Structure 1
Amino acid sequence: MTHSGKTVIVIGGGLAGLATATLLSDRGFQVTLIEQKHRLGGRTFSFQDRTTSDVVDNGQHILMGCYHYTLRWLKFLGQAQPTQTGRLIHIPFAAPHKKLSSLIIPVLPMPMHLLVGILRFKNLSFWERLLLIKAGLKLPFQHIPETISVDDWLKDLGQNENLKTYFWNPVCLAVMNESLQNASAKLFATALKHMFLVKGDYSRIIIPKTGLSELFVIPSEVLIRQNGGIVLLDREVDKIQLANDQITGITLNNKNLLQADVYVSAVPQSGFFNIIDKDIRDKHFQAMAVLRTSPIISIYVWLTGIQTDQLFHGSFIGCIHTKIQWIFKKSDSLLEITISGAVDMINRQREEIFELIVGELEILFADFKGSMVRHFLVIKERNATFSQPPDSGYHRPSCRTPIKNFYIAGDWTDTGLPATIEGAVKSAYTAVDHVCAEYLR
């Protein structure tokens, strides 16, 4: 690596910030990474449970074969390919008092893999399966307005309520962290096309076999420091100094002044306005003020007297007609349960959430009893993703800003993707390309 002599300050140590910092340090920039928390990783990290000493993530994150930028970055970090299911998609489903079949998409040339998988999906009637195939055949050729919801789009496609319940709603919650009524149809359709209609192996599911910090955070910090970069934790940006539409420095909460050639904000949209003065915000960034966030709740359940394999086969299962959307096996005695789009649950007490989950597990699995739980942990991520309703695309900022040496990265920027790890990492590559084009000429 050759040092360029250029300096950059990256604000925010989540995945967008880590990817931006590692990639720019590799391009020869002297990097300073600033994070307000005592740890890196943002909304994607792992930690040790105090009671069991098990390492758990702050929430289950699934990667896919279509995560081009994420897999490219992991390779750059020297990380081995995470555990994956292969090219076959096999998603079992469960519902209270009802036996459901799995969605199995076989290894066949595109689009035959989808046609065969849908035709075998017996949670739907044969007529409903044909309606689903018809919608899929229309997808590549549709121009979807920015202003309609997924629910309205599905009505236009003739998708009935049973199709929404047993197929579309689980997929929408997983992809968008939003209900059908609240999610942008344009963004959702873009994600579906990318996952299922580009390459056959893009739809494969990849489940990390290590903690998220071990996978992303630790190797990123090591690389930044190895390349001579600086990582500052427990540091907040107090003020950004601006002159002639250019940043001249930033003041931290400890009153230190830091200066660089380039500045990249990689904080989530919920924190962006905390680092931008009102006059700068009103002049340049007012359009993004309408963006909101959507929560996710994760519940870890440690079992005794029963093994997780006795509840269901496979590494995870989707749930219908329950508050639970997904259940993942983390070990022989540990389950991780996900509640996406948890707007109506996020303000409940943790004990209340746990009791609700235990009740649903008892209904879903005949062999499960609440007395088998020896420990539980409820994790609330109030700002897990940015909210992605219709019209949200109009308000997502581009990477380049009217401030000459200031760039924005983050899954909430105008990546064309939903709020995913892939969106965060893609935004970093976009920011790095712009910075290098401008400062390494």
Structure 2
Amino acid sequence: MTSSSPPAPAVVVGAGWAGLTAALALARAGHPVHLIEAGKAPGGRARSLDLDGTPLDNGQHILVGACQQTLQQIRSVGINPEQAFQALPFGLRMFGPTGRPQAPAFLLEPRSPRLPALAAALYRALAKHSLGTRLRALSGAAAMLHRPLRDDLPVLDWLRQRRQPDALIRSLWDPLCLAVMNTPTRTASARIFQNVLRLALNHGPEAARLLVPARPLGELFPEPAVQELRERGARVDLGRRITAIERSTTHDAAPYRLRDRQGVASPARGVILATPPAAAAALLPHETGWEATHQGLNAMGARSICTVYLRYARRLDDLPPLQGLLDQHGQWLIARNVAGAPHWLAVVISAADDLEPLTADARWRTVARSLAQTFPKLGEPETGHSICERRATLDAQAGLDARRPPARTPWPGCYLAGDYLTPALPSTLEAAVQSGLESAHLYLEDHP
């Protein structure tokens, strides 16, 4: 490299929400950036796609108002969250196969103070129980929010320690844990679940709002982020898969070279690997000094999520935007009219690894039959699609935080980013964004 050559860029591998956040932070700080993504579209596991001419998402995502860093990133690319999301009060209304509510709904009164709102919601949800059971459950729930956990344990054990009735576990805590962690209560980390509850329920009504995207996910952040990066002079390569990272100790200005499937090399001053943990492990060396990094990456188990999209002949404007499903093929029913697709429904199947394996066609037809029994007015859909992300999230088991790898790797100037790295959070967009900001901070700290 001659003195007149432009400086080597920071190369960010992976254009999911973590990688995009890191790339934007570096570009906004004035550093040259090269973003490389194996897929044809940015967004990672939260991207948009086209189904039968309708823009939908590869998975249905719902944020809460407590996702402050995510909302700030969305604002930073010129999108107003107040217009991009439909805000709903925090609440769960669960329906069984008969179509009747399985228990009184758990609904927070938006204008009530934090603890009284939670107490009132739980008290109503336990309407069929004795006064003693109600009071014990309220006392236990208050301790869940305000008493720190000394040791991590499965959520189910924690709930029983806090005297939560089995009926409330089934109708509230089980579906809520699956929704936020994609891990069942019998194995999920109580420490992470407690942190999520605190973030959503201990910081006022704004933090507890449910935010349903009113536009395709790609329009909310990934696509405008790529546009801004290009406007700032960053190079963005979509549809290019990196297969090897080489490091030289003799080229201080560009110590890294990243090679793709065709053998084309890209120089880098530093590298941020914003890929799933298994992909990062495959790119990093197996040498002395790397044991802790690989041990952490290999400890990151994964769980799948399936989203079934169903298209009906009639508009579905009469349906609530969000309904919970108990004992059915899926846990959440989302009317896509909020996102400008009034003929479509989305059914989210969390922890889908535990289900009977089905073809995509058989899965959406099975879900459609189940919904027709629960909500006869729906009738039969015209068509459907099933999209399964096999490694959609971490398997957020008890003890996960102690197993996460560090963001810094043994190679100076090489960092990890991704939702699996953020302590005390499950695999969420907020965890991804926070990790992207952290990796960019480390890069800027080491490359002033």
Return the TM-score normalized by structure 1. 0.91
Once the two structures are TM-superposed, the CA of residue 267 in structure 1 deviates from its matched residue by 0.3
Q: Deviations over 1:152-182 (max 9, x none)?
A: 1112112232121111101000010011112
Tell me how far apart the structure 2 counterparts of residues 307 and 87 of structure 1 sit (CA, whole Å): 21
Structure-to-structure mapping, 1:168-179, within 5 angstroms: 168-179=173-184
Contact kept, 8 Å, 1:410 with 1:428, in 2: the verdict is: yes
Please state how far the C-alpha of 1:66 moved relative to its aligned partner. Answer: 0.3
Alignment pair present for 1:250 and 2:254? no
Within the alignment, does 1:352 sit opposite 2:362 as a pair?
A: yes
Give the stretch that moved more between structures: 256-265 or 61-70. 256-265
Partner of 1:186: 191
Aligned match of 2:326: 320
**Residue 330, structure 1, aligned to residue 336, structure 2:** yes
The correspondence of residues 23-422 of structure 1 with structure 2, limited to 5 A, is 23-49=25-51, 51=52, 53-81=53-81, 82-86=83-87, 88-97=89-98, 98-100=100-102, 101-106=104-109, 107-121=111-125, 125=129, 127=131, 128-243=133-248, 248-279=256-287, 282-288=290-296, 289-304=298-313, 306-310=314-318, 312=319, 314-331=320-337, 332-345=342-355, 347-369=357-379, 372-422=380-430
The CA distance in 2 between the partners of 1:403 and 1:282, in whole Å, is 9
Conservation of the 8 A alpha-carbon contact between 1:270 and 1:383: no
- Secondary structure of the residue aligned to 2:306 is strand
Q: Secondary structure at the match of 2:60?
A: coil
Alignment CA distance shift 1:295-1:195 (3 Å) = same
**CA distance 1:120–1:158, change in 2 (3 Å):** closer
Deviations 1:205-237 (A, max 9, x none): 111111011111110110110010001122222
**Unaligned segments of structure 1, at least 5 residues:** none
CA contact (8 A) 1:303 1:374 kept: yes
Q: By how many angstroms is 1:366 displaced?
A: 3.0
Q: Distance in 2 between matches of 1:316 and 1:409?
A: 31
Give 1:373 deviation, angstroms.
1.1
* 2:436 alignment partner in structure 1: 428
8 Å CA contact 1:266, 1:410 repeated in 2: yes
Deviation by residue 1:251-309 (Cα, 9 ceiling, x = unmatched): 222222222222111001132222223337854522221211100010011112x5434
Shift of 1:45: 0.8
Distance in 1 separating the partners of 2:387 and 2:398: 28
What is the total number of aligned residue pairs between the two structures? 430
Measured at CA, do residues 171 and 260 of structure 1 come closer, stay the same or move farther in structure 2, by a change above 3 Å? Answer: same
3-state SS in 1 of match to 2:19: helix
Structure 2 gap segments, 5+ residues each: 1-5
Q: What amino acid is the match of 1:64?
A: V
Separation (CA, whole Å) in 2 of partners of 1:366 and 1:126? 34
Aligned partners of 2:236, 2:86: CA distance in 1, in Å?
A: 35
Q: What is the rounded CA distance, in whole Å, between the counterparts of 2:248 and 2:210 in structure 1? A: 48
Deviations 1:355-399 (A, max 9, x none): 321232123113233xx2111011111111111111221221222
Change (3 A) 1:42 1:414: same
CA distance in 1: counterparts of 2:203 and 2:244, whole angstroms: 45
> Equivalents in 2 of 1:381, 1:87: separation in Å?
26
Give 1:416 shift: 2.3
Offset, 1:92: 2.6
Show CA shifts across 1:323-344 (max 9, x none): 3100011123211100001112
Letter paired with 1:296:
I
- How far is the alpha carbon of 1:86 from its aligned partner? 4.3
Within 2, Cα distance between the matches of 1:323 and 1:135?
31
**What letter is aligned with 1:105?**
L
Give the 3-state SS of the residue equivalent to 2:377 in structure 1: coil
Within 2, Cα distance between the matches of 1:121 and 1:83?
31
The C-alpha deviation readout for 1:93-115, integer Å capped at 9, x for no partner, is: 21123334432211112222212
> Comparing 427-436 with 53-62, which one deviates more in the overlay?
427-436
SS at match of 1:136: helix
SS in 2 for 1:413: coil
Matched-pair contact (CA < 8 Å) for 2:393–2:427: yes
Among candidates 9, 14, 17, match of residue 11 of structure 2: 9
Q: Is 2:8–2:267's contact at 8 Å kept on the other side of the alignment?
A: no
In 2, Cα distance between equivalents of 1:86 and 1:215: 15
Is the alpha carbon distance of 1:122 and 1:136 closer, same or farther for their aligned partners in structure 2, counting shifts above 3 Å?
closer
Paired letter, 1:418: P
How many angstroms apart in 2 are the aligned matches of 1:243 and 1:182? 43
Preserved CA contact (<8 Å) 1:249 1:259: yes
Task: Specify whether residues 96 and 214 from structure 1 end up closer, same or farther in structure 2 by C-alpha distance, changes over 3 A only.
Answer: same
Higher mean alpha-carbon deviation, 238-247 vs 334-343, is at: 238-247
Q: Which shifted more, 416-425 or 193-202?
A: 193-202
Q: Which moved more, 1:117-126 or 1:213-222?
A: 117-126
* Alpha-carbon separation, structure 2, partners of 1:140 and 1:105: 15
Distance 2:279 2:136 in 1: 43
Distance 2:394 2:289 in 1: 19
Identity %: 24
- What is the SS of the residue equivalent to 2:352? coil
Q: How far apart in 2 are the matches of 1:260 and 1:22? A: 17
For the residues of structure 1 that align with 2:311 and 2:419, how far apart are their CA atoms?
A: 32
Deviation at 1:196, TM superposition (A): 0.6
Shift of 1:119: 2.1
Q: Normalized against structure 2, the TM-score is what?
A: 0.90
Partners of 2:31 and 2:127 lie apart in 1 by 54
Secondary structure of 2:26 counterpart: helix
